[in-house]
Every structure is written in structure tokens, then in C-alpha cells.
Structure 1
Amino acid sequence: MKSRSCWLIFTLIGLSLTSCGQQKSSQEIAETVKNSIVLISYQNESGHGTGFIVPGKTGVCTVLTARHVVEGHSLNLQTNDQKLWKTDSIQANPNLDLAVVTFPSADKNCPYPSLELGDSDSVKQTDQIYISGFPDRAGGGKLVRQFVRGSVSGLDVLEQGYGISYDASTFGGMSGGPVLDVRGKVVAIHGKTDAQIVADLQSQQASLSPQQQAALQQAAARVQGGVQVNTFRWGIPIKTYLANQSWENQPIADYTKLRNLLAAGQWREADGETANKMLEVAGRQKEGWVNRESIEKFSCPDLREMDRLWVKYSNGRFGFSVQKRIYQSLGGTKHYNEKVWDAFGETIGWKRKGEGGHWLSYNELTYNTNAPSAHLPRPVGRPGPRVGFFVVFLDIWKLEKLILLSCRDL
């Protein structure tokens, strides 16, 4: 009997300790997450968002955030120690409001702690949650990281991956931050308000499932209810991120238009569309040219998809990989060499042969399959010193950071 009583006592103690270990105080959670939160701001423009460190590849720090935070922007990343980091890559999911940004780590392992990912399937209505991020400040000034509390209000399935709503006091700038349970584990990625989601969904209403349309009607009723405007915020369950991690190797942009132009043999129009997509992927639409930083972080999945389409519809005649092969066969490397570059230009028909031969202008290029191999596409850049049209290779290769050579499997 004594042995049995001792066993019962130790069992109860064990259960008590386990329970205490699972749930943390709000202060403990706030302290745990502060070194994992990342401020995402924009270069040469106002606005910002939030992200947080998650497990990822060696040699880089991996930041999970919302797609709408990073889409179309050149980013600055700031960690809790006030250090600024240049982005290494940006990968956005084409269907979900999720994105992953990486920045280089001096060590094999990221020096910032990654947050522990929880079980979003276990979340229930009325569960307490916490959100951390950088809300906008009226009048500008230093952004201060905030840690707010709320409770789960609903579990629905909406477009862009949204599935958990809550009544926390979040504000613009906190999008992309972690939604944490009482154990301090991430159960969702904070995204948008009811009003923002309703606006998104109403433009896509015809393509929604019955369940999504019902959820839309409920959200719309709240938004249009006067005092209840923006009552609820929404997050994307962490399970959705984990189940779709393969998208990190998928293109950022939509290439339907490029595919249709190439399939129709509209080479000049396809060349222009390729230039537009390169600017979109690099986040340089406003500038109209790419710089060193945008080249260094250019999305290889997007470059591969553009190349795949060009190679397919030209029967192997055009494409980035064809250009790369020829350039390397002439002795080309990441370091600019004028003789190699001139020989490359002459080989693919971008430069007239012979001493004194000039580089062709945009209108002098040949936009049909009679052009030399690798003649197209002509990528986008800024005006080169020796040519009168936008040509990226001349500038990129002088910068010694080539898009083509940065993607090993192209």
C-alpha cells in the first residue's frame, strides 16, 4: 500500500510539473519571443511589417512573414539587437498570404532563436493567444515592438490560407508577426483584418467555394455593422505553412501572359514581358532597372521558370540557360572581362562582329527564330554607357554578380 501511495504521489507531481511546463506566463512568452521578432521595412519608401525567425537552412536566418508585407518591395531587416541585414532571398507563396525571407548568417547556425511551431489544429474558440509585432506610430518616430493579448473568435477557411480569427488589438505594421498560444508556440501568422479580407474576397467571389462564400458573408456583415468594423483579425494556421513548404522553391510571379506570348511566337512582346517580370520579382518596378542588391537576392525559381518557357517554345534556341552555356564556354565567370563579354555579344548577335562593331539597339535585335542561338531574351537593366537601351547583362556583369551564374542549377 505504501509503495502504491508513493507511486500515486509521484504520478501527481509529474502531471503537475508537466502541466506547469506546458503553459507559460505572458511575461515569459514576451521575453522568449523578443529576440526572434524582425522588423521588415522598405527602402526609399514608407511602410513596414513584421516577421519572425523560424527553423531553416544552414548559413542563413529564415524569417516567416505575410506575402503582402514583402510583395513588390525592396526590404530592410532589423533584428532586436538593432542590427540591419540585407536580404539573401525572398520566396512568396503564389496562393497563400505567406512569404519566407532569408538573410546571411556569419555562422553555420542563425544567431537568433527560432520560435517553436505549435499545433494549430488544437486551437479552439475562446483560447487565449498573443501577438507580437511593430504597429504604425502616428506622426512617425521610432517603432516600438508590442506584445498584445486576445482570444480566438472563430475557425473558418478563407482565401489566401486564412483560418483563425481573434479579437486582439493589432494595428497596421504588425502583419506577418507570430500568433502564439499559452505555451509560447506559434499557431498562426498574423495577417489582415475583416475589412481587408472582405475587400480581397469580394473581388474573387465567383471563384469561392460555398464554405468560403458563407464565411465571406459573415465577415462582410461584421464589417458593415457600424460599431463592429474591424472587430476581428485573421491569421494563417501554422499547419498551412508546414503543409506547403515546397512553395519556397516555387516562382513568385505569375507567368501565364509570358507563356501565351511565347506559345503564339510573339517574341518581341514576350521579351518585354520578361523584362517586366524580372523587375517585379526584383521589386524594382518603380526604378525600371536592377541594382546589385536585387541581383544578389533574385529568385532562382522565377529565373528557372522564365528560362523553361523560353527554351520550351523556342525548341531550345532561346533562354537564359542557353546564354549561360555559351558565356561559360567562352571563358566567362562572375568577374567582368571585356574580351569575353565582347565575344559573347558577337556570338549571340547582340554586337556587330569585327573591331569597332557596335552593340545593337533594342530595335536592331531580331525577334524571330532566324536570330542566332541565345539571342533572346534581352533582360532588363539600367541604361548602359555604350548602348541606348536597357540591357542588364552589361551592367550586371560589370558588377560581377550575375543573375545567371547565381543560380547553379539553371
Structure 2
Amino acid sequence: MKSRSCWLIFTLIGLSLTSCSQPKSSQEIAQAVANSIVLISYQNEAGHGTGFIVPGKTGVCTVLTARHVVEGRSLNLQTNDQKLHKTKRIQASPNLDLAVLTFEPAGATCPYPSLNLGNSDSVKQTDQIYISGFPDRAGGGKLVRQFVRGLVSGLDVLEQGYGISYDASTFGGMSGGPVLDTSGKVVAVHGKTDAQIVADLQSYQASLSPLQQAALQQAAARVAGGVQINTFRWGIPIKTYQANQSWANQPLAKPDYTKLEQLLAVGKWKEADVETTNKMLEVMGRQPEGLWEREDIENFSCPDLRDMDRLWVKYSDERFGFSVQKRIYQSLGGTKEYNNWEVWDRFHEKVGWKKKGGEFLSDSQLTYNKFNAPSAHLPRDWARPPWYSAKGKGGKGQEEKYYKLIRSAGLAWPADLLLSCRDL
């Protein structure tokens, strides 16, 4: 009797574990994912995309989407309860069409359920999949979330991470939505059509691998055929996302430093100072907020810091730039730990940001001239308190109060930037 009871218990346990991955009805999946789908719209232009909640850090809600949905745009996020959320942080992969957004919930934890991530390696041709998102509506009007069915048509390896194609009735605006298997788990991030993939890849066909070129030729043939144009959609396997989540030092998109270079080339130092701060906000994905936090400085993109520094050094005849500031700071005994606050005061005085033994200089008191200004005098705007430079606030005595505040708190974000990259 005892052995029969044990057999029954193990059988029940086995059935319960197996049921976790059992196929669900399309209605069950549609209802289960509803509160995890996020509408991503744009603040200053028409158009939108889709995203979905995934596991992330405590204290924020994490949204996974396609990079091309968010590149170069100021965003609004709307959840299924019709609440609007302000984007806290935007991170994007430099090589994959993937991006992650975060927003702060009202409480300590994210109230929206994260979708379960499946095994994209187990996907096979003819497998049934589902996609949820917000398709465009002709003539505008309220966007309605849709849930559509499709079949996997191919498993190829393309640029930007694309690897699963499927036949499904998706439309513009659904990019960034989840591709789900029959158990309701995410196996891919929905992205582009055949026509879009072909247009992207043909621009740099010569750099593709033989396998990628073969897949491109097949997709191009389908598009050229006319009858099947846009029939197949493409997604990025979720395993690709899971294996490439280290984006802390990556900007949303490679910034264009043309304007900064033009300003520096003609000696418009003040305007170049402000443009440098704007580009730093862009690199950190902080343009929507207009200010940054210490973690943004600590994780700043070294390639972008070097690019901006190179321009400042070049056009100032090596008098201005982050690297020049770093050398002076270190020559005075400065460290990242800020063990000696007197060093930072001497640095302020040495580069001409502060009167000796006195207050910080205002914008009008700075010397925007490479011939008369102290070495490392610029760029300056980035090193102001975040609210001062980004929001235009501050005033007499405010910077002095700020530095007293960071001293008492033990913060060191200006040094964190200057010493963050070894080869600066």
C-alpha cells in the first residue's frame, strides 16, 4: 500500500510539473499577457511601437522592445490600465535591434506582471506562435491592442539579431511586441518585415557572412516577387536577448558629433560647452528627463567620452578637454574615491572655475577663449550640478551649496567620469 501511495504522489508531482509547459488555449494566453503589454508612443511626432514587461531590477518596471522603435525619440509609455509613465532610463544594444526601457512604479515593486521567457532554441518550422501589440489605425483614433496567430516559416541568421521568420497578420506599430509559443512563453521579440530586412541589409551586404548573404538573397527574392511581399515577419530570438543584456555602457544610438565639431572649429566655445552636455544626456539616454544620476556617470560610454574629448583637444590646441582635466586632477593627487576634498577645491581654482578661496564663477565670468583661459577650463557645463546645467536653475551660491552637499553625502560623480576610462 505504501509503495502504491508513493507511486501516486510522484505521478501527481510529475503531472503538475509537466502541466507548466503544456499548451494553452489562445484565449488563455491572450488574457495572461494583456497586463504585460506596453504602448510606446512619441511625444513630438506621430507613430508608436509596442513593448512588454520582462524581469528586471527591483524598484523599476523593465520593458523590452525593438531598438528601432525608440531610437532618437522622446517616449511616452502607457500600460494596459491606461496609466502613463515617464521613462526613467533607455538602454539599447549597439548591434541588435533590441532596447530596454525602465519606468518607476508608484509603489516599491512593479505591479505589472513580467512575461515568462521561453526557449527559442526549441522553436521549429510550422510551430504555432502568437503576437500581441498595437497596430496602426487608418485615420488615427484610439489604438487597440491586437492578438494574432501565425506559423513559424523559417529559422535563419540575419544581421541585427533576427533569426525567426513567421507568417502572421502583423502591421506597423506592433514592432517590439512579444512572440509567444503555445504555452504562453516569449520566444522572440517581433521586429521587421522581409522588405525592411532587405533594405537594411543591402546597405552593407559586403560585410555579411556567407550564411547571412544566402538568407538575404532568399528574402530579396520573396520581396522582388511582388506576390509575397511583406508576407514573412521577423523576430529576434529571446535567447539572443538573454545572452546580450550587458548594455550598461551602451548609448541608445551612436550620437552625431557634427554640430559639436562645427562649433569647436569656429571657436564658439560657449555653445560647444552646452552642446557637449546635450550629447552627454543623449549618450546616457537621459534626454527625456534632462538630468542624470550618479550611476549614469559611473557607467558612461568610454568610446563617446573619447570622441568628445578628441574634438575638444584638437580644436583647442590641446588646452581644453576631458583628458586635460583628468591630468590636472590627478597631478593634484585626485582619486576616484574623493579621499581629499581639498584636492577638488584646488582643481576648481586651477582650471578657473572658482576664485581662489572664494565662490564659483558664473557663466558670464568664465573665459570662452582658448588663448586667455586657464588650461582645462572647458568643457565646464557637464561638471555643474545636474539640475543646474540641465534645467537652467541654480543661482548665486547654489553651486557652493551643492558641493557642500555632495561632500557630506560622500558622492564623487565628477571624478567618476574623469577616471572612468583608463585610456582617456
TM-score range, shorter chain: 0.7 to 0.9
Identity %: 68
Q: Which residue of 1 aligns with 2:254?
A: 254
One of 287, 306, 317 as aligned partner of 2:324: 317
> How much is the aligned-residue C-alpha RMSD, in angstroms?
4.6
Contact 1:350/1:365 (8 A) holds in 2: no
Contact 2:186/2:238 (8 A) holds in 1: yes
Post-superposition Cα deviations, 1:229-287, rounded to whole Å, max 9, x if no partner, equal 001000000000010111244233437979xx8xxx98969957846734644779xxx
Q: Which residue of 1 aligns with 2:318?
A: none
Tell me, what secondary structure is at the counterpart of 2:168? coil
Contact 1:165/1:232 (8 A) holds in 2: yes
Shift of residue 191, structure 1, vs aligned partner: 0.5
Q: Which residue of 2 aligns with 1:162?
A: 162
Contact 2:36/2:52 (8 A) holds in 1: yes
Q: Which residue of 1 aligns with 2:143?
A: 143
For residues 43 and 94 of structure 1, what CA distance do their matches in structure 2 show?
A: 24
Query: Number of paired residues?
Result: 373
One of 368, 374, 377 as aligned partner of 1:375: 377
In structure 1, list runs of 5 or more residues that go unmatched: 285-289, 333-339, 381-390
Post-superposition Cα deviations, 1:313-343, rounded to whole Å, max 9, x if no partner, equal 7684236x969999x959x9xxxxxxx9xx9
One of 386, 393, 401 as aligned partner of 2:389: 393
Shift of residue 398, structure 1, vs aligned partner: 3.2
TM-score, scaled relative to structure 2: 0.73
For residues 413 and 125 of structure 2, what CA distance do their matches in structure 1 show?
A: 45
Shift of residue 351, structure 1, vs aligned partner: 8.6
For residues 349 and 60 of structure 2, what CA distance do their matches in structure 1 show?
A: 39
Distance 1:117 1:347, change over 3 A: same
Tell me, what secondary structure is at the counterpart of 2:87? coil
For residues 358 and 106 of structure 1, what CA distance do their matches in structure 2 show?
A: 38
In the TM superposition, 1:286-365 aligns within 5 A as: 293-296=289-292, 300=297, 301-302=299-300, 306-307=304-305, 316-318=323-325, 348-349=351-352, 359-360=363-364, 365=368
Distance 1:17 1:166, change over 3 A: same
Distance 1:371 1:310, change over 3 A: farther
Post-superposition Cα deviations, 1:167-225, rounded to whole Å, max 9, x if no partner, equal 11111100000000001000000000010110000001111111111110000001111
In structure 2, list runs of 5 or more residues that go unmatched: 314-320, 418-424
For residues 37 and 52 of structure 1, what CA distance do their matches in structure 2 show?
A: 4
Contact 2:283/2:304 (8 A) holds in 1: no
Contact 2:250/2:301 (8 A) holds in 1: no
Q: Which residue of 1 aligns with 2:221?
A: 221
Contact 1:222/1:229 (8 A) holds in 2: yes
Distance 1:63 1:349, change over 3 A: same
Tell me, what secondary structure is at the counterpart of 1:318? helix
Tell me, what secondary structure is at the counterpart of 1:88? strand
In the TM superposition, 1:158-237 aligns within 5 A as: 158-237=158-237
Distance 1:315 1:181, change over 3 A: closer
Q: Which residue of 2 aligns with 1:383?
A: none
Shift of residue 18, structure 1, vs aligned partner: 2.4
For residues 115 and 407 of structure 1, what CA distance do their matches in structure 2 show?
A: 36
